Amino acid sequence: MIKRAGVKKGPTAWLDLAAMFEALSDRLEGVFSKLRGKGKLSEADVDIALREVRLALLEADVNFKVVKDVQNRIREKTIGEHVMESLTPAQHVVKIVHDELVELLGGGQRRLEMAGSPPTVVMLVGLQGSGKTTSAAKLALHMRKQGRRPLLVAADVYRPAAIDQLTQLGKQLSVPVYSEPAGAKPPDICANAVKKAREDADDLVILDTAGRLQINHELMAELEQIKARVPVTETLFVADAMTGQEAVNVAQEFHSHVPLTGLILTKMDGDARGGAALSIRAVTGVPVKFVGIGEKADALEPFYPDRVASRILGMGDVLSLIEKTQEHLDQQKAAELEKKMRTATFGLDDFLDQLQQIKKMGPLTQVMEMIPGMSGLARKLGPGQFDESQLKRVEAIIYSMTPGERRNPRILDGSRKRRIARGSGTTPHDINQVINQFSQMQALMKQFTRGRIPKHIRRMMSQGGGTAGLPGLPGL
């Protein structure tokens, strides 16, 4: 009889689990550490590596059969390969796997195809709860930004309040919503909606169909009927990024009833690795067109194969992080900051600026998730560990200082500290902590700007960060 780990191990079970999700590259580093220095990958090396690759892919919910397929292809490509000079064998294997996944995920037309004569009809299909209604609204907004005139159609007559939901979303976005009273049949609703779109000169019709199981013959037939009644240009399968092994069968079954032209991968703002996307893409050949990354109406993105490949391999989403950073970092401020660092006039004001810029990027754990090698750490710490309110406290403390004190914290004596503590609702001890952190940071900066990275920082950076030198990814 198996002892249940959760019962036996208690809180430590989670640490094991976090370890399980460690980046593939970290694990390969471990496996290959004995082999370092070899110039060529032997068959035995590759087999060991492939076992790790297999585990990583399965943990990311890539379909079992697809994993086997990928494994074979990688095997062929890897055996006998000379390891590139700049790479360790582990990095070399990861690069091959990464490239392979990018190739598998990419390709195909990733933009929405437009009908020769308007309106273009886009039908969203999928299982219950995959996010069709939300995606419909997001898609409408996305396309309107590109100058289209979308019409949303509430064709889900089964789920309670589904029509209300779409109507409310339409209202929020000022996108018209076509719906009919209870009792109407979805194929009729869709046909009438297209007629209405023609009259109103709306050039894009988005059909929000009901969630259905692919084994429900009646409802699958309904999709076919809709397709027979209206000229559907794009049939997009909405897939939840958290879907497991079954994703492939579901998509294939939909594909056989109403040939799919694209995928929308939803809930990618979570930490699901999204192996389902790879599986569906590999098996049906249908390209991923959009990715849903949040609950807000503008949280729909084009699909970038390299990002999702990195994510499936647990390598973090460096590109998204960089984009996010660029989006939120004030370039001018960054330049100023750099100058201050060089001239060592970096004060608490600048420290505050920095904190606020980081805050703008979103919850810290989310930011950490995107850094290679840090995702495991972020998970280990959990969302509560990066106490965002801590940042607020630091802010309050700095705001309670005079400009002079901010520029030169060394003048802070006991009396000044007590005043600041009163002003910020903290204690002098808290203030000492902030100042200590700040002076450590200052010292670090001096070393950085002199081109020397202190040993303990280097160790921190290399911890689990085997991807540092990986080509195709900017070095972080």
Partner 1 sequence: MFNWLRRKDREPELVEADEASGEGTELSGAAAEAGLSEEELAEEALTAVPEDELVLEEQEEEREASLEESLAKTRGGFFSRIKGLFNRKTEITEEFYEELEELLIQADVGVMTTQRLIEALRERVEDDNIRAIDGAREAFRDEMAGFLEDESEGLRLAQPVSLLLIVGVNGVGKTTTIGKLATYLKGAGHSVLLAAGDTFRAAAIEQLQAWGSRAGVPVIAHQPGSDPSAVIFDAIAAAEARGVDVVLADTAGRLHTKFNLMEELRKVSSVAGKRLPGAPHEVLLIVDATSGQNALIQAKQFTEVSPVTGLIVTKLDSTAKGGIVFAIRDELGLPIKFVGTGEKISDLAPFDAGRFVGGLFD
Q: Give Cα separations from 59 to 34, 244, 435, 459 (angstroms).
A: 25, 10, 43, 28
Please tell me the distance from the alpha carbon of residue 198 to that of residue 119, in angstroms, as a whole number.
7
Subset of residues 375 to 394 that bind partner 1, contact rule: CB under 8 A: 379, 382-384, 386, 388
9's CB contacts (< 8 A; 6+ apart) are 16
Nearer to partner 1, 48 or 58 (CB): 58
Nearer to partner 1, 64 or 399 (CB): 64
Other Cβ atoms closer than 10 A to 446:
14
Residue 249 phi/psi, 5-degree rounding, is -65, -40
The 400-439 site mask, x for binding partner 1 (CB under 8 A), equals: ----------------------------------------
- At closest approach, how far in Å is the CB of 335 from partner 1? 31
Q: Are 190 and 155 in contact (CB under 8 A)?
A: yes
Of residues 423, 385, 380, the one with CA closest to residue 401: 423
Residue from 119, 131, 176, 316 touching partner 1 (CB under 8 A): that is: 131
310 binds partner 1 (CB under 8 A): no
Question: Position 290: which residue type?
Answer: F
Subset of residues 233 to 292 that bind partner 1, contact rule: CB under 8 A: 240-247, 249-250, 267, 269-273, 275-276
Residue from 44, 213, 335, 461 touching partner 1 (CB under 8 A): that is: 213
Please tell me the distance from the alpha carbon of residue 366 to that of residue 167, in angstroms, as a whole number.
32
Burial of residue 358 (CB within 10 Å: 0-12, 13-18, 19+) is middle
- At closest approach, how far in Å is the CB of 429 from partner 1? 25
At 143 the three-state DSSP class reads helix
Residue from 30, 38, 44, 64 touching partner 1 (CB under 8 A): that is: 64
The 132-171 site mask, x for binding partner 1 (CB under 8 A), equals: --------------------------xxxxx-xxxxxx--
Specify the stretch interacting with partner 1 by CB under 8 A; choose among 72-80, 124-132, 346-354, 468-476: 124-132
Tokens of residue 17, six digits: 């689990």
Measured between its terminal Cα atoms, the distance across the chain in Å is 46
- Helix 89-105 / helix 275-284 crossing angle, nearest 10 deg: 60
Please tell me the distance from the alpha carbon of residue 141 to that of residue 177, in angstroms, as a whole number.
13
Residue corresponding to tokens 């192996």:
275
Report which DSSP code applies to 123: E
Specify the stretch interacting with partner 1 by CB under 8 A; choose among 98-106, 208-216, 318-326, 430-438: 208-216
Nearer to partner 1, 88 or 243 (CB): 243
- At closest approach, how far in Å is the CB of 403 from partner 1? 32
- At closest approach, how far in Å is the CB of 384 from partner 1? 6
User: Which residues contact partner 1 (rule: CB under 8 A)?
Assistant: 1-2, 4-7, 13-14, 17, 20-21, 55, 58-61, 63-64, 127-131, 158-162, 164-169, 172, 213-215, 240-247, 249-250, 267, 269-273, 275-276, 295, 363, 365-366, 369, 379, 382-384, 386, 388
